[in-house]
Structure 1
Amino acid sequence: MNNAWTIEFTRIVVVVAIAILFGLVSGYWMLAILVPFSVYVGWMLTQIRVLERWIRLGAKNSLAPDSNGIWQLIVQHIVHAQRKNTERKVRLSQMANRFEAIIAALPEATVVINANREIELTNQASFTLLGIDKQRDLGQKIDNLIRDPAFHALIESPEQNTQVEIESPIDNLKTLSMNCVDFGSDQKLITARDVSQRIAVQKLRKAFIANASHELRTPLTVIAGYLELLESEVDIPEHIRRQITNASHQASRMQKILDDLLMLSKLEEKGYNKRSGVVVDMASLVEKLVADFRKTRAKGTHEIIMNVDHSLQVKAVESELYSLCQNLLSNAVKYSPKGSVIHVKWEKAPEGSPVFTVTDNGEGIAPEYISRLTERFFRVNVNRSRQIGGTGLGLSIVKHILENLGGYLNVESELGRGSEFSAYFPRYRAIDESQVAQNVQVLKPQEEGFREIS
């Protein structure tokens, strides 16, 4: 680089020297200056023309102009930049090929769309599941190919990792689970997988549970009736009466299990619905439930302290709310020692969500079991659970009720220090007094007719 500039400065010095020498010899200073500098400028313009023509023809290395000085340095810079650009293009091409190979190898249908929802990339699985051809449909708007409203809401949603299940646009017997995430610059990556088999298994399981429960209900009712008649007989020996009483308790427990299984099946079939329910006076419902527990299950054994916000109502299904609260309070009574205190709260959380909380000071739950509490028939202590009764389905029912309402169950527990179960409802289901005053019908809990679920 320094050598090139040295050559160029040497040229300028030679031109200046010639001009001075010619001026001293001839005395025509104007001509002495114009002639050598005109030759230098003409030579520079020639080099510029050669360089421009070379660049216009593609700046190929084989056609690079033969020059020296600063022009040789410029040509070298251009050749070097072009070589790096070529290497960069090769790397990008290899990366693009690898990315396309990865997309093509994915078993899930994969589609990349831009900010205008135009398809930029897709794979073979997309043709099988969505009918999107990677040759024919590139550049097409995905809205024109998949017209399901749930899918349109998915790609418009700002939330990440959300999923919806829709029918395949080319086969209504297939159910697809669609996922959409932001990708690249103003792009979205859409994936779809066939979940038809899982849906079929779920439907089969629901149908089996419903049918088995209905079929078992009639003979179980007959058995329970005969056991009740036998218990009322006065001439039965005491040791046989104890066996009959035990059998009657087991029949009642089986009846509760059937009722809970049927309710779970209905909750799963119902699913999430943002607009479901009516406005329920939750404070009155909780007060009624706590009063019933004080008279029956917790009578003389537990102290229940209640703190409810009467100005806070919730939009939900009354029977489901009662089942939710009853299950949480029942667990607190079952798994806390006699003479202990149970706290029941209905309030608005700091973030604005309505929350129903039941706190006990029982034996607590180990951290490794907390995540499994809502599984069907899961019990931390099997032997104790059998002694105190219960179906093992209560918390599973609570979870499904909350999921259908858009809420969630939070459990905090520590061994030896008790547990806290909090049912959080979404903020949009909270109804305050001002909304109630605007002709909103509030459903009061009935004094009679509540059916115990578990």
Structure 2
Amino acid sequence: MPHSWRTEAQWLLAILLPAALLGYLKNLLWPTLTAVLLLALLWQLWQMHRLQRLLLQDTPTPPAPPGGLWESLFRTTQRLQQRSLRHRQQLQALLSRIQDSTDALQEGILMLDSHGNLEWWNLAASRQLGLKRPADTGQPLTNLVREPQFSAYLKQADFREPLIMAAPHASKRQLQISITAFGRHERLLVIQDVTRLRQLEQMRKDFVANVSHELRTPLTVLSGYIETLQDLSAELPPRWQRILQQMSEQSGRMDVLIKDLLMLSRLETTRQEPPQWLDLNALLEQILRDARALAASKHQQVELQADAPLQILGYPGELRSAFSNLAFNACKYTPDGGHIVLSWQVLDNGCGVFAVQDNGMGIEAQHIPRLTERFYRADPSRSKATGGTGLGLAIVKHVLLRHDATLEITSTPGTGSCFRCVFPASRWQTGKQLTGPDQQGYQP
């Protein structure tokens, strides 16, 4: 028997034996024992009440009764309460430090529960979204930020790409919102003010557009004089003919470069007009003829695999530029006698895919993620030899973005490459007739 129980039994015997002796002498044995037991029960109930009060209060103030089981229970409970209080104080201090550190961040941070209600946010998020503490705690975030694009972004399940939108209370400020899902459908939002970056990006676009536009006039004048001198090359010394030939080639490269820069600028800055339903078969047939004409000098075989009549919703000039870039690149970078396939196929999810497959030299894996960057070349010497500007795939990327499509690139060095333009199901359809007042076929 534990010591506390033995002490409690000894205490009970110590009060019962004198009471029994006194009752026996007074001939009141049972009434005396009953009274003593009732008093002992009342004392036990009082100690239980004190223990309950001790468990319910925050600080262990009541003194422990001397000796016995109750003293052990009281002292154990007090030690546990003191330990719990120390842990709570440490956790509170840690939470205060975390809150102070997040309040010092320039980025806004919000935590949403599984229902999209606000649980916690820092000071930067309050400034960026106009939130108020603690009045907005527990409120649905979509009720406080009434932006349709934000509500649509919050409801979707794919948060791989951040959302860029105007600040709710300052339309000139641009915010980038990234969402990370965690726990049980809870979400963590990180908000960055990208106004300065957007302004710099716009300045860069304007600079490229203005410089490209301003270079066209002097380049046109120079090209004109070079062509005039070439017409008179028979009257010039032989060494001048080689100089004029090099000048003509370089001015032609500059002209192509400026045209590509101007097209990129137009894709980035111009607003989209309503798209049209185009005859995709006619567009692909025209690109096939142009690709075969380019491949003839290298004895390459170019074929098209798209039998069913197809229609695509988009912009004819832009799609022709994107598809031509891919087809012509395959011709340029595939060795003599190579095989190139242009194809259209439908995936199981309904997406339509225009693909260009070649059996050329291929591309190293480390270059593939950067191929769509401006002026990036996997092999600079090879691009110069073929007259490339390093802007073709950047143009393809921007055209596909304007058509809700993506570019997928796979390649194996020494085997070949495949460039796939993946269009959503809403962007294409089958059928022989193009119907509707705003739908027309492609005219090459």
Shorter-chain TM-score bucket reads 0.7 to 0.9
Superposition pairs of residues 229-378 of structure 1, within 5 angstroms: 229-233=228-232, 235-236=234-235, 240-270=240-270, 277-298=275-296, 301-308=299-306, 310=308, 313-378=311-376
Q: CA 1:323–1:385 in structure 2 vs 1: closer, same or farther (change >3 Å)? A: same
**Residue pair 1:270, 1:404 contacting (<8 A) in 2 also:** no
Distance in 2 of aligned mates of 1:136 and 1:405 = 43
* Alpha-carbon distance change, 311 to 7 in structure 1, aligned in 2, over 3 angstroms: farther
Aligned identity (percent) is 30
1:391/1:52 Cα in 2 relative to 1: closer, same or farther (>3 Å)? Answer: closer
**Contact 2:280–2:312, Cα closer than 8 Å, also in 1:** yes
Amino acid paired to 1:42? L
Higher mean alpha-carbon deviation, 4-13 vs 74-83, is at 4-13
Change (3 A) 1:12 1:213: same
Q: Indicate the residue corresponding to 2:4 in structure 1.
A: 4
Which amino acid in structure 1 is aligned with residue 285 of structure 2?
A: E
- List per-residue Cα deviations over 1:226-246 (Å, max 9, x = no partner): 444444458445654444344
How much has 1:126 moved relative to structure 2?
3.9
Contact 1:50–1:65 (Cα < 8 Å) also in 2 = no
Structure 2 CA distance, aligned partners of 1:205 and 1:428?
34
Question: Is 1:445 aligned to residue 442 of structure 2?
Answer: yes
Q: Tell me how far 1:149 sits from its aligned partner.
A: 2.9
Question: Could you say what secondary structure the match of 1:103 adopts?
Answer: helix
Alpha-carbon distance in structure 1 between the residues aligned to 2:12 and 2:308: 95
Q: 1:209 aligned to 2:196?
A: no
The 1:116–1:220 alpha-carbon spacing in structure 2 relative to 1, beyond 3 Å, is same
Is contact 1:110–1:191 with CA below 8 Å preserved after alignment? yes
Judging changes above 3 Å, is the alpha-carbon distance between structure 1 residues 60 and 200 closer, same or farther for their aligned structure 2 residues? closer
Q: How far apart are 1:389 and its partner, in Å?
A: 1.2
Q: Is the 8 A contact 2:362 2:411 kept in 1?
A: yes
Matches within 5 A, 1:91-240: 91-114=90-113, 119-126=118-125, 128-132=127-131, 142-143=141-142, 146-182=145-181, 188-233=187-232, 235-236=234-235, 240=240
Counterpart for residue 395 of structure 1: 393
Contact 1:8 1:69 survives alignment (8 Å) = yes
Write the letter of the residue equivalent to 2:411. S
1:94-117 Cα shifts (integer Å, max 9, x gaps) = 221122022112122334455666
Q: Is the 8 A contact 2:305 2:342 kept in 1?
A: yes
Matched-pair contact (CA < 8 Å) for 1:316–1:405: yes
Distance 1:307 1:376 in 2: 31
Tell me the distance in 2 between the aligned counterparts of 1:162 and 1:365. Answer: 26
SS at match of 2:337: coil
**CA distance in structure 2 between the aligned counterparts of 1:361 and 1:184, rounded to whole angstroms:** 47
- Go from structure 1 to structure 2 and tell me whether the alpha carbon gap of 1:42 and 1:408 turns closer, same or farther (over 3 Å shift): same
Q: 1:147 to 1:196 in 2, by over 3 A?
A: same
Asked whether the 8 Å contact 1:361–1:417 carries over to 2, the reply is yes
Shift of the 286–60 alpha-carbon distance from structure 1 to 2, 3 Å rule, reads same
- Give the gaps of 5 or more residues in structure 1: 448-454
Partner of 1:451: none
Shift of 1:39: 4.3
Residue by residue over 1:165-197, the C-alpha shift from the partner in whole angstroms, topping out at 9 and shown as x without a partner, is 223344443322233334666654333322222
CA distance in 1, matches of 2:379, 2:33: 107
Q: Over residues 382-405 of structure 1, what are the superposed CA-to-partner deviations in whole Å (9 max), with x where a residue is unaligned? A: 233222212221011111222333
Cα shift at 1:152: 3.1
| 1:450 alignment partner in structure 2 | none
Cα pair 1:4 1:73 within 8 Å, conserved: yes
Measured after TM superposition, the shift of residue 326 of structure 1 is 0.7
Contact in 1 for aligned 2:60/2:81 (Cα 8 Å): no
Q: Which residue is equivalent to 2:46?
A: 46
Deviation of 1:364 after TM superposition, in Å, equals: 1.9
**Cα distance per residue 1:252-298 (max 9 Å; x no partner):** 32222111111111222258x8x963333334322321122213444
Instruction: Name the SS of the counterpart of 1:63 in structure 2.
Output: coil
The two structures have a TM-score, normalised by structure 2, of 0.83
TM-score (normalizing by structure 1): 0.82
Matched letter for residue 429 of structure 1 = R
Matched, 1:431 2:429: yes
How many angstroms does 1:303 deviate by?
0.5
- Cα 1:144–1:351 change in 2 (3 A) is closer
Give distance in 2, aligned partners of 1:167 and 1:328.
36
RMSD: 3.8
Between 1:89-98 and 1:418-427, the stretch displaced more is 418-427
Separation in 2 of the partners of 1:60 and 1:429? 69
